[in-house]
Amino acid sequence: MSPAPDVRLTMPARAEGVAVVRQALAGMADALAVDAALLADMKMAVSEACTNVVVHAYEDADGVLEVEMSADDIGLTIRVRDHGRGIQPHVKQAREVPALGLGLPLIAALSDTFEVQGGAGHGTEVRMTFTYMREADPADANPVTGTVGDDGHWDSDATRGTPAG
């Protein structure tokens, strides 16, 4: 049985809430004496997970963003949860969506372990763990591949290089 979370936030899934989550994380990391580079990775990964909820979970309806942070001797586990329409990563939007499509690749590169649970209509939970004493940079094991495509979205299969212009 997992221990009770040290921090639990429940808030409307709106853009202004993402900074609040980062503030709570920074406070918790301060209490744990987490170093600046690891905190930066945590803040980035959590922001991307929360942004996914804000942008994708509820379409135009109101909904809830839930974040749980729990610490143990080894590291910090963070869960970001919604009760929205579930994972539908390849749905094309009719209107322009200001999203690069980099969220999940960034979370994978910045966290030590990363797991997504859920399904269509059942909401989504992103669970990330961050180890205090890293033996290796997770971005080496799970690098962000590709670069931005001509359509403005991230293309994971594209070859990196200096573009013309």
Partner 1 sequence: MDANPIVLDDDAGDVVVVVVEGEHDIYTAPTLRDRLDEAIGRGGGIVVDLTGATFVDSSVLGALLDARRRALEADQRFVVCVGDSVEPGVQRILDITGLVPVLPVVSGRDAAINAARVNPNGAGG
What residues line the site for partner 1 (CB under 8 A)?
A: 15-16, 18-19, 22, 36-37, 39-41, 43-44, 47-48, 51, 54-55, 98-100, 102-103, 106, 109-110, 139, 143-144, 147-148, 152, 160-163, 165
Q: How far is the CB of 4 from partner 1 (least distance, A)?
A: 29
Rank residues 34 and 87 by Cβ distance to partner 1 and give the closer one.
Answer: 34
Rank residues 5 and 144 by Cβ distance to partner 1 and give the closer one.
Answer: 144
- Give the 3-state secondary structure of residue 115: strand
Burial 31-70 (b: 16+ CB within 10 A, else e): eeebeeebbebbbbbbbbbbebbbbbbbeeeebbbbbbbb
What are the C-alpha distances in Å from 96 to residues 14, 101, 138, 152?
Answer: 18, 13, 32, 11
Q: How far is the CB of 131 from partner 1 (least distance, A)?
A: 17
Report which DSSP code applies to 54: I
> CB of 21 within 8 A of CB of 50?
yes
Rank residues 48 and 112 by Cβ distance to partner 1 and give the closer one.
Answer: 48
Rank residues 69 and 107 by Cβ distance to partner 1 and give the closer one.
Answer: 107
Q: How far is the CB of 155 from partner 1 (least distance, A)?
A: 12
